[in-house]
Structure 1
């Protein structure tokens, strides 16, 4: 009615054809940005992307990204076209997209415009670039990783020429901003089949450039009667068997990464990996910093990997309380989920029931409001200063000392009792 064309395009068309509900809707149109704003002047508009031809239109709580047909210029930075030329031609707009399954449009009557075989690729379960793969991956190098993500998400195969091009240009992924790589990786980690996604990274040679530290684990024999998988597949199995929390999935993948650096073999020819938990925690911090993960995620993954071997079957209530204190209430159940997955991925006959029972014991400890950390002590730093302690790290050390005593005997958590113990300790040190 306004003399312009408009089509749904991209992921929403793909998802609709697959029988899935689209998470968002994108529109491509012959109208230029000013014309879009004129036509939808009665709506709230978001104009941040106007330079690239995109206007966000608020429809209820949803933002419909509406973009003018485009013909991209050269991609000199391997990410953005150097210039964007608006077009009146839908085919030109679809031609610039990454994969055929994302290069289909739908008109208002539900008719599909498919210039590049997207429908047949959907039906065949195939990821294929629009046009020549090398050109698409040279334009935006992140497309290689996106291809892996789509193949994993939909359980599709990557078409042969596309696959070969990814392997050929995989080293170019290092030219992509770490933040962009991280966003794609996170979607793989949180997918239904994260292990398959990481295996695809290996198969396409991308892993060698994103996670080079994992390459030594490929085919690595753990030389242990407790392990029937090589190290890489053991870690993929663990990744697949932890709940879908980002920090937990990352810890699942990397929990044993340092085994290749800590192997010792006893007189029976059995491999041992003393200290691989601590070294692995140090290694993963460097990996995640390189990929610009936030400090909270890094700290959580570091704790989980550093503590995942603290799994003594004979641990009693006092030991559990110390473990909760060491790991934190927010991570303790994640740690046990990691331990359970780790053990499930050793031998098929491993019994993990004692770990499940321990989660119940921990739940009971937390629900009973027992003293777990210094915040539960009836005295604090001010009380210690009043009886003669100097302000500073000494205060924390004394509170830690008192905390250990209370973990052994909670009846000691009385103000006068703890102050008397603190006085005795102070007099001994003078």
Structure 2
């Protein structure tokens, strides 16, 4: 059965979270309080909603706050006419109030229309009902509203799901996923990030409908996948939903299989929370370098990561068989990929079993000592430069070859990085 079941409510978990269910414990930032109070003072309802409420109930500090209200867009603009406001999505009832260093999204209660593209509603209809607005949200844990005046509004027992450590769709999962296919991957991502199970009906719908993820932009898939593989329960989720993750990453199946995801899952707990290292494990375990490189370029590249992220993944794949016990190799890695990279690579190699724990400790300490010595690892750090090579009578490509040879000799310890020594060496290239 492709459903996670090892999670569950424990007395310890419930005891820890119960105090956060008390409305008196929910202290909002002043800027958020101001937005709620300003709307209330003008006769409108206003609640914080979604992830900020969920995070508070889990004992976490929310990173941002969304507000929902029965005020219509033109009314919201009037209410906050003396504030800095950004019309981030006014046609969908959303504007952003910028206040005291915070961006607070304020959205009119709404009901979504039909979804023809599996991602966005064709139209939205504003409503006066908070509960109707909460009905359109993805999961019960994200469909809780709160205001200092009214306390928690929780028509779908999202607080109960938090205590049960469960992800369940609001209402019919098939309908929720038909509206927005990204919710399929979000269910799996929240399971990983929060350490929650996915309830049976929701998990069944995930397994039945995951091919709809092909409707979603690669950028959005990438955002969810990255949060997923960095989650506290990444291993369990990647094992339980490997088929969903493999399809999300590579719908054609030509470069990546669910078995690749399952193999990588076993190593998630041993790595740092470094997304590129974890992605490299998905592409690099059990494959030769050529196959791994091709898979990473095709699949990871299709997700449209930043150039740096792509380069970091390729660095792990290209270097995973490097001898990290060798000083010269470490210097070459420092010069090619940056000073910090060898330490990450040593951890990568220990995690996937290329070196054991004692070797890991020894290599990590040896690298620490090497780094403190600040060795010369790039041409730019040599005590001579292209001008010196030119003055020595070298031309064109000869200059680059000579400087590279000098760098190699310095890194191998054949001679010191001292100007007089290197000038004599340059003369030998004529």
TM normalised by structure 2 equals 0.83
Q: Which digits, 9 at most, give the CA deviation of each residue in 1:139-180, with x for residues without a partner?
A: 111000001111122222212221111111111101100000
Bigger relative contact order, structure 1 or 2 (CA pairs below 8 A, ≥6 apart)? 2
> Could you say which residue in structure 1 is the equivalent of 2:413?
409
Q: Which residue of 1 aligns with 2:377?
A: 372
1:41-60 residue CA offsets vs partner (Å, 9 max, x unmatched): 23221212212111212332
CA distance in 1: counterparts of 2:337 and 2:99, whole angstroms: 45
CA spacing shift, 1:323–1:242, aligned 2, 3 Å? same
Cα 1:320–1:55, aligned 2, differ >3 Å: closer, same or farther?
closer
Query: Matched residues in 2 for 1:312 and 1:20: separation?
Result: 39
Deviates more, 1:19-28 or 1:181-190: 19-28
CA distance in structure 2 between the partners assigned to 1:51 and 1:200 by the alignment: 39
Map of 2:32 onto structure 1: none
How many angstroms apart in 2 are the aligned matches of 1:148 and 1:319? 40
2:198 to 151, 154, 158: 158
Q: What is the alpha-carbon distance in structure 2 between the residues aligned to residue 56 and residue 399 of structure 1?
A: 55
Check whether the contact 1:281–1:301 (CA below 8 A) recurs between aligned residues. no
User: Could you tell me which residue of structure 2 aligns to residue 291 of structure 1?
Assistant: 303
1:325 and 1:372 in contact (8 A); partners too: yes
Q: Does 1:92 align with 2:132?
A: yes
- The answer (yes or no) to whether the contact 1:79–1:141 under 8 Å persists in 2 is yes
2:161 to 121, 130, 133: 121
CA distance in 1, matches of 2:206, 2:329: 50
Matching residue of 1:340: 350
Match for residue 194 of structure 1 among 234, 246, 271: 234
Instruction: Note the 1:284-363 alignment, pairs <5 A.
Output: 284-311=296-323, 315=326, 317-343=327-353, 351-363=356-368
Give the Cα–Cα distance (whole angstroms) in 1 for the partners of residues 209 and 72 of structure 2: 35
8 Å contact kept, 1:371–1:410: no
Aligned to 1:425, what secondary structure does the other structure show? coil
Deviation by residue 1:384-405 (Cα, 9 ceiling, x = unmatched): 22233222x4422221111112
1:423 Cα deviation after fit: 3.4
TM-fit CA distance, 1:246: 2.1
> Which secondary structure does the structure 2 equivalent of 1:3 belong to?
coil
Deviations 1:338-367, CA, capped at 9 Å, x for gaps: 112122xx8xxx742223222222222222
Hey, what's the Cα distance between the residues in 2 that align with 1:306 and 1:351?
20
Please give the alpha-carbon distance, in whole angstroms, between the structure 1 residues aligned to 2:94 and 2:290. Answer: 48
* Cα deviation code 1:299-323 (max 9, x no counterpart): 111111211111365x3x3444344
Counterpart selection for 1:235 from 264, 270, 290: 264
Aligned equivalents of 1:249 and 1:41: distance in 2? Answer: 47
Q: Please give the secondary structure, in 1, of the residue aligned with 2:231.
A: coil
Gaps of 5+ in 2: 1-40
TM-score, normalised by the number of residues in structure 1: 0.83
- Find the counterpart in structure 1 of residue 247 from structure 2: 208
- Structure 1 runs of 4+ aligned residues shifted over 6 Å read none
Counterpart Cα distance in 2 of 1:331 and 1:318: 14
Separation (CA, whole Å) in 2 of partners of 1:318 and 1:104: 57
Secondary structure of the structure 1 residue equivalent to 2:119: coil
Q: 1:247 to 1:312 in 2, by over 3 A?
A: closer
8 Å Cα contact 1:307-1:327 kept in structure 2: no
Q: Matches of 2:180 and 2:42 in 1, distance apart? A: 35
Count of residue correspondences: 387
Whether the aligned pair in 2 keeps the contact of 1:195 and 1:240 (CA below 8 Å) is yes
